[in-house]
Chain A
Amino acid sequence: DARVTQTPRDKVTEMGQEVTMRCQPILGHNTVFWYRQTMMQGLELLAYFRNRAPLDDSGMPKDRFSAEMPDATLATLKIQPSEPRDSAVYFCASARTVQTYNEQFFGPGTRLTVL
């Protein structure tokens, strides 16, 4: 049963610390998405990659957030320095976009709390 995995599942940190979240997409999926979910804003797309190349990161605060795909099996989202307003659940999703529609498969999320 192929699944998207995310680590850590929960992260509590103090303001100013660096946070790194990791995602392993489903094997064979070539597109990876990062979302942030909060009560106030709902689900927001932060960035996405196709074949490891960034396609769109316009939803991401550029000064403190960065997203990379070092290889096809790992995507990372880094926040440096973290702030309390970054507290949210961060989801990774992957898709196999060789067809004209993208069915995205979501990971379980990383719940980030910045104190």
Chain B
Amino acid sequence: AQSVTQLGSHVSVSEGALVLLRCNYSSSVPPYLFWYVQYPNQGLQLLLKYTSAATLVKGINGFEAEFKKSETSFHLTKPSAHMSDAAEYFCAVSLSGGGSNYKLTFGKGTLLTVNP
């Protein structure tokens, strides 16, 4: 079974500051890891994904995440926050390999507020 823990349900940063959203996972096999973003009244949109290639993954809107197996972490970062980054962010894990397991397990989400 797999699980995801997002540390901090709410993160507040100033515009231009570093964004760091934390995600730790638990998985019995090598995982695939994802970050999704949800803007108000919208569905989830994929930001980036890790699928066992490069451990540093770059996504849309200037976000990136680094897979650290030793720390079982997949933290999301952005060097400089923009007002438009204000949204809820979800980390998710899926088991690698094919077969019948296509499920994503999501964390509880982190609400990012960007202050002017």
**Dominant secondary structure at the A interface:** strand
Q: Is the CB of B94 within 8 A of A102?
A: yes
Q: Is the CB of A101 within 8 A of B96?
A: yes
A61-115 at interface with B (beta carbon < 8 Å): 91, 93, 95, 97, 99-109
Spell out B's residues near A (CB within 8 Å): 32, 34, 36, 41-46, 49, 51, 90, 94, 96-98, 100, 102-109
**Dominant secondary structure at the B interface:** loop
Q: Is the CB of A101 within 8 A of B51?
A: yes
B68, chain A: closest CB distance, angstroms: 19
B54, chain A: closest CB distance, angstroms: 14
Known: A106-B43, A106-B44. A100 touches B100 (CB 8 A): no
Q: Is the CB of B44 within 8 A of A91?
A: yes
Number of A residues with CB within 8 Å of any CB on chain B: 25
Q: What are 11 inter-chain pairs, A to B, with CB distance below 8 A? A: A31-B102, A42-B107, A45-B103, A50-B102, A97-B98, A101-B94, A105-B46, A107-B43, A108-B41, A108-B42, A109-B42
A99 vs B108: C-alpha distance when bound (angstroms): 27
A14 in the interface (beta carbon within 8 A): no
Q: Is the CB of B102 within 8 A of A102?
A: yes
Q: Is the CB of A4 within 8 A of B106?
A: no
Q: Is the CB of B98 within 8 A of A108?
A: no
Nearest 7 Cβ contacts at the A-B interface: A106-B43, A106-B44, A43-B106, A100-B98, A102-B102, A42-B108, A101-B32
